[in-house]
Structure 1
């Protein structure tokens, strides 16, 4: 019974009427007789799951062996945060509720712990600060993504620059689905999909940002898009989609790295370059060339079918996310150009470091620690000046005492 059910499910899942244009069969996919090439089979994608675990292992080693020493070399500094005193009941409440709690719950904790509501607020504030990611952690994460996106961009450029569909997008559909897959295209697909799987697996430990939900939607849509395009042999246009995305991602990650290191001018320059590349590739090239080719030009080679609509729907989801992120970027550019400042990263951590209370919850930052010796000298100098002034005033008073008498 289980074997029969699996067979029916397998037959239903791989219906050619959904995946392929009218008149095409699975035997036609990738079968053009070119030597040294391969046909795309869905089972090839099973390799991406162990490779994703491999990416996680490589990332673990990279962040500790390469990224961490690099962060110290560039001068990345972390805030020294005060730790919350041990309170088992408050700890259990915090782990369960995080930031979502009501005043009535705090009043109940007041009776259980013997602390005032203000003291409970202060404890929760300290506990939240402990969970905030350090600059070093964010730097290591950004450096790992920077290395991958840079390598993926260069590898994609090398593998695509000599292909006819890189310059003429109509070639993406000529002969579809009888289009063989080269080894370079195969590994380009497999490694990109493996990397996005690793991002999904690490979502619980990575830095959580304001656009966390949008990032999850982006990763899931990308995984579906890469997997579907490989199984249906939309690999030519799929490589263009991945290349367009990689062209700006490594610039963003490099800007983050220098931001955490405190290199403001370098960070600003890279961010402006990233903004230009992002807006051109995601709002101009991607919709006008890639999406237009998949929606309009492809119909010159085959009639619409369910897979055609599904594939374009995923591309439109990505384009909607591009518009959302472009809005955030333009808002930052407006603050930078017209207001002369950027208050904070529009895609910053969910709990910003600007939410400080004047209760000594956080100690001095690295810069404040560097200013310590200078401040002590200034204070000493000021004290000497005050003492000299007092001594001088005392002498003047003593000198005038006889005259007053």
Structure 2
């Protein structure tokens, strides 16, 4: 049964143009072709990236954060409460008023105290500015280096200047060593992003990020296995520019989509692999448009006089009014649950 599924999945008619088979992409006469087995190396590469990222964020990124004056934000703590913690974890981080009243009776606290406990507990779950900066610094550094390396790989190739050259002789196109390393590094990086997603900053576009990582991994892997390597290197180079050349990227991806949709039909009839590749490419373009809209909206807010512009993708800390502090209960070790020991010291002196 496994062999049947394997044979069906790798059926020539699905992934290759008419009259071509996988035997046409076997190494011969000095020609080297991309192979699916090459992609195994990207998994250990992903773990290597995760180690490098850990060291980079705690050394280089932390140093730049210190230079720029970015520090950890001190958040108000909460008094440990097993009943409220269980509700926070199991039920809802934003309880309804009826739930707040029920928890109030169980804990012996006022509804106001329960609301404040949940508010502060939610704030503790939110990532700090320093964590966001470290993550952004790592990604920015990688994309700059990857974009530079990508240009070095393709700038001297004829298909960089004439997109029709991308399909000349396809898919009988030999694989170059520079293309191999470019693919392995890029795919390893996106595997590392997918593996570390549980520890990264959770944003409002979390689902879109997952879709983006999965779509990118599928696109890179598919283009490698079916020898769409020339088109793949163009897509990756343009994609790496997205964080700091967003508008150029959108236009560049549109040109590449035109290249992958129109030019191949001049050489062979459409087949499943043709539709699959372009569908994934369109998904990535839609995500670029989505993030471009968020960035443009933040830019418009800034230009209209809102000097402090929050990241549209991130939750902001909820405010904690000072008038709420008077009904806070003291905590052991000289600390009030808001984390300010001086308040408790003043209260002791007044007695």
TM range (shorter): 0.7 to 0.9
Name the CA distance, whole Å, in 1 between partners of 2:2 and 2:225: 19
Partner of 2:322, secondary structure, is coil
Cα displacement string for residues 72-123 of structure 1 (whole angstroms, at most 9, x for unaligned residues):
1221123211110111111121122353433332232122211122111100
Name the CA distance, whole Å, in 1 between partners of 2:324 and 2:50: 34
Alignment of 1:189-228 (within 5 A): 189-228=183-222
Partner of 1:248, secondary structure, is coil
Judge conservation of contact 1:30–1:233 (CA < 8 Å) in 2: no
User: Which residue of the other structure, out of 276, 296, 315, is the alignment partner of 2:262?
Assistant: 296
Match of 1:280 in 2: 248
Cα displacement string for residues 174-210 of structure 1 (whole angstroms, at most 9, x for unaligned residues):
1111111111111111111111111111111111112
Measured on the aligned residues, the alpha-carbon RMSD in Å equals 1.9
Cα distance, 1:357–1:327 mapped onto 2, change above 3 Å: same
Name the CA distance, whole Å, in 2 between partners of 1:30 and 1:113: 70
Match of 1:330 in 2: 296
Cα distance, 1:22–1:317 mapped onto 2, change above 3 Å: same
Partner of 1:340, secondary structure, is coil
User: Which residue of the other structure, out of 44, 48, 59, is the alignment partner of 1:54?
Assistant: 48
Name the CA distance, whole Å, in 2 between partners of 1:316 and 1:153: 21
Judge conservation of contact 1:32–1:180 (CA < 8 Å) in 2: no
Please state how far the C-alpha of 1:346 moved relative to its aligned partner.
Answer: 4.3
Match of 1:352 in 2: 316
Partner of 1:78, secondary structure, is coil
Structure 1 residue runs of 5 or longer lacking an equivalent are 252-276, 363-405
Name the CA distance, whole Å, in 2 between partners of 1:315 and 1:296: 14
Cα distance, 1:87–1:74 mapped onto 2, change above 3 Å: same
Name the CA distance, whole Å, in 2 between partners of 1:26 and 1:130: 54
Answer with 1 or 2: which has the greater Rg: 1
User: Which residue of the other structure, out of 64, 73, 83, is the alignment partner of 1:89?
Assistant: 83
Q: How many residues align?
A: 325
Name the CA distance, whole Å, in 2 between partners of 1:34 and 1:99: 62
Match of 1:66 in 2: 60
Alignment of 1:4-403 (within 5 A): 5-29=1-25, 31=27, 33-34=29-30, 38-249=32-243, 251=244, 277-282=245-250, 284-287=251-254, 289-337=255-303, 339-341=304-306, 343-349=308-314, 351-353=315-317, 355-359=318-322
Cα distance, 1:98–1:239 mapped onto 2, change above 3 Å: farther
Judge conservation of contact 1:32–1:178 (CA < 8 Å) in 2: no
Partner of 2:305, secondary structure, is coil
Please state how far the C-alpha of 1:232 moved relative to its aligned partner.
Answer: 0.7
Match of 2:344 in 1: none
Judge conservation of contact 1:84–1:127 (CA < 8 Å) in 2: yes
Instruction: Specify which structure has the higher proportion of helix.
Output: 1
Cα distance, 1:344–1:96 mapped onto 2, change above 3 Å: farther
Cα distance, 1:323–1:32 mapped onto 2, change above 3 Å: farther
Cα distance, 1:165–1:360 mapped onto 2, change above 3 Å: farther
Structure 2 residue runs of 5 or longer lacking an equivalent are 326-351
Cα displacement string for residues 286-307 of structure 1 (whole angstroms, at most 9, x for unaligned residues):
11x2000111111111110011
Cα distance, 1:68–1:186 mapped onto 2, change above 3 Å: same
Name the CA distance, whole Å, in 1 between partners of 2:219 and 2:2: 25
Partner of 1:230, secondary structure, is helix
Please state how far the C-alpha of 1:152 moved relative to its aligned partner.
Answer: 0.3
